Chains A and B, each alone.
Chain A
Amino acid sequence: MKINFIRVLLIIITFITINSCERDDICIDEITPHLIVRFYDNDNNTLFKKFSQLSVKVMGIENDSLSFSSTDSILIPLKVTDNSTQFILTLDSDQNTFIRDTLTVNYDPSNVFVGRSCGFKTIFNNTNYLLDSNNWIHNVETITQTIDNETGAHVKIFH
């Protein structure tokens, strides 16, 4: 009887232990959200409009530009250590002509704890957009001022 009692307890404890060993070492939660830009047709403000080739250069970052081709939606990263991120958006049209506009995104970053493996992420509040020229982008329209997820677009670009 005693042995059975102990065995049952051993089994219980083993189960608790196995249960405890679930993996939380790998970060699978959402981390810092990207800025989601949706491209619209300047002639008809309700229609999406694809570009053929776009390169996005993040100012102050050594890395090469991010390249996107024939899409109407892009995800670009924002700097978490700064209050603004400046992007040079270069449109490469079919005739190999490069036209660029500079978009500055200003925001108040705030750090939010995610979990053991992911650490902290940043969310961006009071976002606003500044366009320095209108070479190919005609207008920028804010969809949401708070960037805290990647479920939908945050800003519209009309071109």
Chain B
Amino acid sequence: MKLVHMLKYFINILFLFSCIVSFSQKYDSQSTDTIIKNKYGLRVGIDVFNPVNAFFDEDRKGLELVGDFRISKKLYVAAELGYLENTTSEDFINFTTDGSYLKAGVDYNAYENWLNMENAIYVGFRYGYSTFSQTLNSFTVNNDAFLDDFATVENGQKFDNLNAHWAEIVLGIKAEVLNNLYLGFSFSGKKIIATKEPEGFKNLFVPGFNRVFLNNSGFGFNYTISYLIPLYKKDK
């Protein structure tokens, strides 16, 4: 598990660097005299990480729908809606988090496209809200090793009606691979603003936020495949 997390982390970093590299191409691009019309519409898709990951990892099941709507040449209103059931296994505790979440915000496309291309390298901001439950499956009381009484307590205690609010900065790329079909990758840094903690336990994982670190921060990434439903065209 640790290795997988490390690999995920390094892959994320590589993607970040790939963004920097892709900017160097921009120096060559100059606008042409022809008027380029941009496609406007509703782009809907899914996050493919969770469905694919479910084949390898039984501890994480979820689905996330993503969507954005272009409101100007560079601005998109974006939202994600998802459901996630995740089991976290630590040295002394094992718990399952189950819930749904909604994130809403804007994406700003900072990439100057060639001609009629519709790719994006964007930054975005999100407000996230999740409502969920935590089930403490088992725990071991952390006592002096001398006693050898590391008996695992099968608990099954469920904490309902929990919630969390957080803010998120997103950095991502979207590429139009076929007409109106986009592949995307994004990385996000998050910080919890407010959360309803369970009594006698803690929200160590929040759906849509993922692992909650000590200082209430977290990060995540998305691999999306989405389809643009073109509604109209504008020249800027």
Interface residues of A (CB under 8 A from B): 2-3, 5-7, 9-10, 12-14, 16-17, 19-22, 24, 27, 31-32, 34, 58, 61-63, 66, 77-81, 111-122
Docked complex Cα distance between A92 and B227 (Å) = 81
B176 within 8 A of A: no
- Asked if A63 meets B146 with Cβ closer than 8 Å, knowing A5-B110, A32-B141, A116-B90, the reply is yes
Interface footprint category on B: 35 or more
Is the contact region of chain B dominated by helix, strand, or loop, or is it mixed? mixed
Cβ A117 vs Cβ B123 within 8 A: no
25 contacts between A and B (CB under 8 A): A2-B110, A6-B121, A12-B169, A14-B16, A17-B219, A19-B217, A20-B189, A20-B215, A20-B217, A27-B91, A27-B92, A61-B148, A62-B148, A63-B146, A63-B148, A77-B143, A77-B144, A80-B141, A80-B147, A81-B141, A114-B142, A117-B90, A117-B91, A117-B92, A120-B139
B56 within 8 A of A: no
Is the contact region of chain A dominated by helix, strand, or loop, or is it mixed? mixed
B151 within 8 A of A: yes
Docked complex Cα distance between A144 and B148 (Å) = 26
B232 within 8 A of A: no
Chain B residues positioned under 8 Å from A66 (CB to CB): 146
Min distance, Cβ B143 to any Cβ of chain A, angstroms: 4
Q: In the complex, which of the residues A14, A20, A21, A122 contacts B143, with contact meaning CB atoms closer than 8 Å?
A: A122
Q: In the complex, which of the residues A22, A61, A78, A118 contacts B214, with contact meaning CB atoms closer than 8 Å?
A: A22
Min distance, Cβ B213 to any Cβ of chain A, angstroms: 5
Interface residues of B (CB under 8 A from A): 9, 12, 16, 19-20, 23, 26, 90-93, 110, 112, 121, 123, 139-144, 146-149, 151, 153, 169, 171, 187, 189, 191, 200-202, 204, 213-215, 217-219
- Asked if A32 meets B213 with Cβ closer than 8 Å, knowing A17-B219, A20-B189, A116-B90, the reply is no
Chain B residues positioned under 8 Å from A62 (CB to CB): 148
Chain A residues positioned under 8 Å from B121 (CB to CB): 6
